[in-house]
Structure 1
Amino acid sequence: MSVPLARLLITCPDAPGIVAAVSGFLRNHGANITALDQHSTDPEGGRFFLRAEFTTPHLDLGAGALEAAFARVVAEPFEMEWRILYASRRQRLALMVSKVDHALLEILWLWRRGELDAEIPLVVSNHDALREEVERFGVAFHHIPVTRETKPEAEAQTLALYEDAGIDLVVLARYMQILSPAFVGRYPQRILNIHHSFLPAFIGADPYRQAFERGVKVIGATAHYVTDDLDEGPILEQGVARVTHRQSVADLKRLGQTLERDVLARALRWHLEGRVLVHGNKTVVFA
């Protein structure tokens, strides 16, 4: 049987004694640390990042009391930004998609196989094309059309669905609409996007044809958090593959979509497992 786990994520100014304070606190309250990773940008005046995974069955305090004690005893003296994620509380995902299905179906397939520690109560799309595919997984499909005129109403309808469903994380599985700053602001560092890695070189329609005509030798995919700056949020993961003049536009597109599926799946797993800490417009990923 699996042992209940929790994950502690910390960002703070670097200082001596942080690891000792964290590990001592957890030990004193009956936790057993099973994994610990740390990183410092600069031992002298830099930022310190820590991820600790620990078992919870023998804690002497409930979650609320443990967090209050940690804040008082450890977090405040070290000026920490921190959070504890409990594996027993599965995060709830909303997937957003337009017409292309490869990233969406990869996530749903992994979820059905039990390889994603999450719940997926719904999918939202601005087209109705993938309804049947989604409903085969037993997931609710919501078609919310978007035009320039109806975009505010469509986003309001989407956000209302998410609030009712208790959504923790939004995954853009090739959703070809730009989200408004108001929408993004509801889920800071909790909207994950995937796209090809040609940006900003090949902007607009048919980037693989543009890349083919330019004779690129490497193609790739990027997963990042969404911010108000289009496609410029903190990057979680990237993947690349070499290509040659022998490959057609269709070959490049197939390979690119495979990269997108794999990169998005890895980034999503890392987020769900509390392996990502954001620092400015960069990430520290304890993968």
Structure 2
Amino acid sequence: MVPKLNPKTKSAEVNRARMLVSCPDRPGIVAAVSRFLFENGANIIQSDQYTMDPAEGGLFFIRIEFDLDNLDQRRAQLKADFAKVAEEFQMSWSITRAKRKKRLAIFVSKEDHCLLELLWHWQSGDLDADIAMVISNHNDMRELVEPLGIPYYHIPVTADTKAEAERRQLELVTGQVDAIILARYMQIISPKFIEYFPNKIINIHHSFLPAFVGGKPYAQAHNRGVKIIGATAHYVTEELDGGPIIEQDVQRVSHRDNVDDLKRIGRHIERAVLAKAVNWHVEDRIIVHHNKTVVFN
């Protein structure tokens, strides 16, 4: 039986849209965007902006939420008209409907804490997305997932079968999901797979990157005698654990903590950091610029 969602589940206004813009900084950008929305009858609900240091390229970033009557019928024309403004200011931009929930695929191995956190946020209505499926290289999480009415796919992965496993995964997710969440999925994603989902695969790394890249970061941290440990949520790129960072957090530890202690403490950090990153992604709060992110949280 599928449990009912919390009545507090977020429900975006039917006519609400989100606009993300990045472009070279110059006078008049905010005025041009605001004037365009006003002239089209839109009401700006929220606006956040950031200007990068001129020494780093002088780029301008803005996120706007606005309401517009008959949005579904008018969105195509709105985008066509805004393209003229965007061309003048050399903008990279998007306009999305807030009511359209992003569909997620969650990849997981044997550790359940990040998956459980995402499922709890989803059930409580704090994750405004649809979990379309869970894919795992083990069968361990099936009993957690299927009672919620979420399809669960077991695709074993070995060194010899990795290419075939990824082919089967792509068959399941292509055209069916908007983003992939690696909730402690302990497999390296191939460059070919990443090409299908640029800046749409979010990983949680159990380390405060760029420290302790790769496997067994808690053992690496213990051997180094660190005084803080952390976790990092980032977009996946071809560079191992080197993609644009979305969110990080840390907690103090001491010489009294062994590797198991670090893992236990780290699990609490990992689940919170990943949940924040996924929420910000599905709410269109992130703009990627090269290997950095601007997060309007």
TM-score range, shorter chain: over 0.9
Pairs aligned (count): 285
Partner of 1:232: 242
Write the deviation string for residues 108-154 of structure 1: whole angstroms up to 9, x where unpaired.
Answer: 11101111111011000011111111113221100001112211111
Q: Which residue of 222, 247, 264 maps to 2:274? A: 264
Q: Structure 1 residues 59, 110: CA separation in 2 closer, same or farther (over 3 Å shift)?
A: closer
Partner of 1:133: 144
Q: Structure 1 residues 275, 2: CA separation in 2 closer, same or farther (over 3 Å shift)?
A: closer
Partner of 2:133: 122
- The amino acid of 2:133's aligned partner reads L
Q: CA deviation at 1:12?
A: 0.8
**Does 2:80 match 1:68?**
yes
Partner of 1:208: 218
Q: Structure 1 residues 200, 25: CA separation in 2 closer, same or farther (over 3 Å shift)?
A: closer
Structure 2 contact 12–98 (Cα < 8 Å) conserved: no
Q: Which residue of 222, 231, 242 maps to 2:232? A: 222
Q: Please give the secondary structure, in 2, of the residue aligned with 1:54.
A: strand
Q: Please give the secondary structure, in 2, of the residue aligned with 1:123.
A: strand
Q: Please give the secondary structure, in 2, of the residue aligned with 1:25.
A: helix
Q: Distance in 2 between matches of 1:262 and 1:23?
A: 35
Partner of 1:159: 170
Q: Distance in 2 between matches of 1:2 and 1:211?
A: 42
Q: Distance in 1 between matches of 2:58 and 2:168?
A: 43
Q: Please give the secondary structure, in 2, of the residue aligned with 1:62.
A: helix
Q: Which residue of 180, 203, 215 maps to 1:170? A: 180
Write the deviation string for residues 66-120 of structure 1: whole angstroms up to 9, x where unpaired.
Answer: 1001112x11111111001211111000000011011111001110111111101
Q: CA deviation at 1:156?
A: 1.0
Q: Which runs of 4+ in 1 moved over 6 A?
A: none
Give me the identity figure in percent: 57
Q: Structure 1 residues 168, 205: CA separation in 2 closer, same or farther (over 3 Å shift)?
A: closer
RMSD of aligned alpha carbons: 1.9
Unaligned residue ranges in structure 1 (runs of 5+): none
Length-normalised TM-score, structure 2:
0.90
Structure 1 contact 12–79 (Cα < 8 Å) conserved: yes
Q: Which residue of 13, 33, 52 maps to 1:3? A: 13
- The amino acid of 2:39's aligned partner reads N
- The amino acid of 2:195's aligned partner reads G
Q: CA deviation at 1:28?
A: 1.1
Length-normalised TM-score, structure 1:
0.93
